[in-house]
Amino acid sequence: MNMRRLLVVLVVLIAALPVLAQTDVGFKGIGGRLAFVDPEGDYDGTIGFGVVADLGEWIPQLHWDASAMYWSSSAGYVNGDFKIHDVGLRSSVKYHFIKGPWEPYAGGGIGIHMYGWSYEWHHGYYGAPDNTNTQFGLQILGGVEHQFNPNWKGSAEVEFDFQDFGQTLLQVNAIYMLGK
């Protein structure tokens, strides 16, 4: 089964070689990310923060970025409090529908989420040991990007992450463009 997937990836990459000759991929910009995160389950919404890198364009309307983000949340129960946090590393590709000062886009990507959680008992009971879990996930997203000046651009987007522990994010990015 894994050999079939590898073969499919290789065929797609070979077929894409003419397109890759037109790429402008590289480290183009770096910035910050602020998000409202709504984790799946009974957890309260929370604020997340991180960094985002502009990695250029595969073709003129197909943009690539990578990000790292952290958030934590908790839920209170009768016998104790449950706390969870996520460090997410994501890479996504976005198709910009039009060129101009305001560019709407839609896209998707992959990510690795490193979760940690603990349970603190009330009334002097001992809590469960801290636990960690790493999950591979997929995301879809959409938003709008605006070039404020030659050195700065920003975006606002909604993202849906799908893995065993899903999440919805409303996020804004501010990116400083390098070499402009």
Residue 84: which pLDDT band, with cuts at 50, 70 and 90? Answer: confident
Mean pLDDT score of the chain? 84
DSSP 126: P
CA distances (Å), 36 to each of 97, 154, 157, 159, in order? 25, 16, 11, 10
Stretch 167-174: mean pLDDT: 94
> By C-alpha distance, which of 116, 170, 114, 106 is closest to 137?
114
Question: Has residue 64 been placed in a domain?
Answer: yes
Residues 134-166: tens digit of each pLDDT: 888 899 999 999 999 999 999 999 999 998 778
Q: What is the pLDDT of residue 14?
A: 64
Structural domain containing residue 126:
25-177
- Report how far residue 173's alpha carbon sits from residue 156's, in angstroms, rounded to the nearest whole number: 7
Sequence-separated contacts (24+) of 21-25 with Cβ below 8 Å: 22/59, 23/56, 23/57, 23/58, 23/59, 24/56, 24/57, 25/55, 25/56, 25/57, 25/58, 25/64
Question: Has residue 20 been placed in a domain?
Answer: no
Residue 35 is part of a domain; what is its CATH number? Answer: 2.40.160.20
CA distances (Å), 34 to each of 5, 27, 151, 174, in order? 35, 21, 20, 9
Copy the structure tokens of residue 39.
């984790």
Question: Has residue 111 been placed in a domain?
Answer: yes
19 pLDDT above the threshold of 60 = no
Question: Has residue 65 been placed in a domain?
Answer: yes
Residue 88: which pLDDT band, with cuts at 50, 70 and 90? Answer: very high
Question: Has residue 66 been placed in a domain?
Answer: yes
Question: Has residue 37 been placed in a domain?
Answer: yes
20 pLDDT above the threshold of 70 = no
Q: What is the pLDDT of residue 58?
A: 86
Question: Has residue 4 been placed in a domain?
Answer: no
The predicted model scores a pTM of: 0.77
Q: What is the pLDDT of residue 23?
A: 72
Q: What is the pLDDT of residue 125?
A: 58
How many domains does the chain fold into? 1
Q: What is the pLDDT of residue 74?
A: 79
Question: Has residue 10 been placed in a domain?
Answer: no
